[in-house]
Amino acid sequence: MGKRRSPAEEAEALRVSETIDDELRREREAVRRKRGKQLKVLLLGQAESGKSTLQKQFQLYYSSATLEQERPSWRPIVYFNILKAIRMILDELDWEYSLSPTSPSPAASHSGSPSPTSPSAPLPPLQLAALRHKLLPLVASEDALAAELSGGVTLARGRQGVFVRSGWQALTSAHRQWPLAEDYYASRALPGHGGRQTAVTGIVATTLAASAEEVDALWWHPAVQALLKGNKLKLEEYAAFFLANIRRIAQPEYLPTNEDILHVRLQTIGVTEHAFDINLGGTNYSWNLYDVGGAVRPFRHAWVPFFDDATAIIFLAPISAFDQYLEEDPRTNRIDDSLQLFTAICANKLLSSAALVLMLNKTDLLRQKLEAGIKVRKYISSYGDRPNSYEEVSEYFRAHFIQVHKRKDVSHRPLYLHYTSMLDIKATQSIIVNVGEAIMRSHLTKIGLA
């Protein structure tokens, strides 16, 4: 047995223990003071409504250092977006022109790439077949890259794509090994470090670099542009941006820019939490922002546990989606689905005390579609003979959401409404400040401090 401590030693040990406890208590209190008051904000909306892009805008404005740390992780996501777009183009071309999967003869290969400055140099369908043949090895990596990024997450009914849960960045070795973007660049310059990315990402990067000219030629080919203009080829929203920038993205030292990260399409499953320290009126507040994945209807039950005690809800409705239908229910127009979902939120008693913000999103895409001559009444018969202008269409959708709020909101709370385009950094961050102030006013009023 060890020697028993004297009363003096026992007293000294107790003093040291109490000192440590006091120090830990002060540290916890300092953290609480630094973090400030806790606010819970939910981002809700259907798939592809812009929730994740808004979360990235919050991160860019309030916590840019964390976005910098994540930057290398977005590289394979950008690659996946490009592979999917190329595959969709090739599938549509094969449908239109019955391109042969067999290898074309050398004579069929083109000697130059058409560009946006020279659209009047059409290539014959035989040369489209040559492009297809050269790009097949690149497209063949899509499923392997998706499986790696999804970390084994799959959905029922064989839905393709990348579906990620919270913490997906840890699946990429780039994020684990390079805490800052400059470390990523430095690592690539060191002998033996160029292969630290995952094997699949490395293969895709190498193949993309070797195929950049063919990808560029495919994108600017008159046949592809004609299919786009005629609305026969419907690519996802990110595609034009990435394919037009393919030569930059295909560079070996490529690292995604803020604009690249805002453009990527990444479907989330479940709930992703982000904490931001925000100072408003001299008081620190910790915003816990919950990006609630709405990829498909069956996953919306994941929202329920986060309804209780929410400070605010930011609901995103993509009003550019009037000509689109749900992937899981091709009979349901996406505008109708947004209205149904917004109705459920307004009528939910668990959310009755939360401030309500409505963002009618993707106004830039709405303008593009209307300017291209796509008629709203073709997809929404109730629009009738109203002018097919941005002002009329946007006001029509706005009126419908306001009507839902007036009729269904259980607490008759105010509705803070904004037209938004999440890809416009300056405009969106101005709206973020306004939304933050509105949420704080509502919160202070609710607790009796305003």
Burial 324-352 (b: 16+ CB within 10 A, else e): ebbeeeeeebbbbbbbebbbebbebeebe
Of residues 323, 439, 298, 320, the one with CA closest to residue 379:
323
- Residues 439 and 322 grouped into a single domain: yes
- Residues 295 and 210 grouped into a single domain: no
Q: How many helical (H) and strand (E) elements, i.e. helices and strands, does the chain have?
A: 17, 8
- Residues 298 and 210 grouped into a single domain: no
The pLDDT value given to residue 180: 40
The reported pTM is 0.76
Q: Are 334 and 324 in contact (CB under 8 A)?
A: yes
Specify the length of the chain in residues. Answer: 450
The pLDDT value given to residue 121: 44
Taking only the tens place, the pLDDT of each residue in 401-445 is 999 999 999 999 999 999 999 888 889 889 988 888 888 877 777
Q: What single string gives the DSSP state of each residue in 131-196?
A: HHHHHHHHHTTHHHHHHHHHTT---GGG--S-EE-TTGGGGSHHHHH-SSHHHHHHHHHSTT-TT-
The pLDDT value given to residue 327: 79
Taking only the tens place, the pLDDT of each residue in 289-301 is 888 765 445 555 5
The pLDDT value given to residue 190: 33
Q: Is residue 353 part of a domain?
A: yes
Q: Is residue 12 part of a domain?
A: no
Q: Is 290 helix (H, G, I), strand (E, B) or coil?
A: strand
The pLDDT value given to residue 434: 86
313 strand-pairing partners: 42, 356
Rg (CA), the chain: 26
Number of domains in the chain: 2
Of residues 346, 335, 243, 274, the one with CA closest to residue 54:
274
- Residues 135 and 194 grouped into a single domain: yes
Residues of the chain with pLDDT under 70: 1-5, 9-10, 13-14, 16-18, 20-22, 24-36, 100-124, 151-197, 268-270, 280-281, 293-306, 447-450
Q: Are 162 and 147 in contact (CB under 8 A)?
A: no
Q: Are 201 and 75 in contact (CB under 8 A)?
A: yes
The pLDDT value given to residue 394: 97
Question: CA 51 to CA 54: how far, in whole Å?
Answer: 5
- Residues 291 and 227 grouped into a single domain: no
Q: Is residue 6 part of a domain?
A: no
Of residues 155, 193, 154, 148, the one with CA closest to residue 171:
148
Q: Is residue 29 part of a domain?
A: no
Question: CA 39 to CA 218: how far, in whole Å?
Answer: 48
- Residues 305 and 246 grouped into a single domain: no
Containing structural domain, residue 254: 71-152+169-263
Q: Is residue 21 part of a domain?
A: no
CATH code assigned at 124: 1.10.400.10
The pLDDT value given to residue 119: 44
- Residues 258 and 315 grouped into a single domain: no
CATH code assigned at 318: 3.40.50.300
Q: Are 444 and 436 in contact (CB under 8 A)?
A: no
- Residues 284 and 252 grouped into a single domain: no
- Residues 201 and 328 grouped into a single domain: no
- To 10 degrees, the CA torsion angle through 182, 185, 190, 193? 110
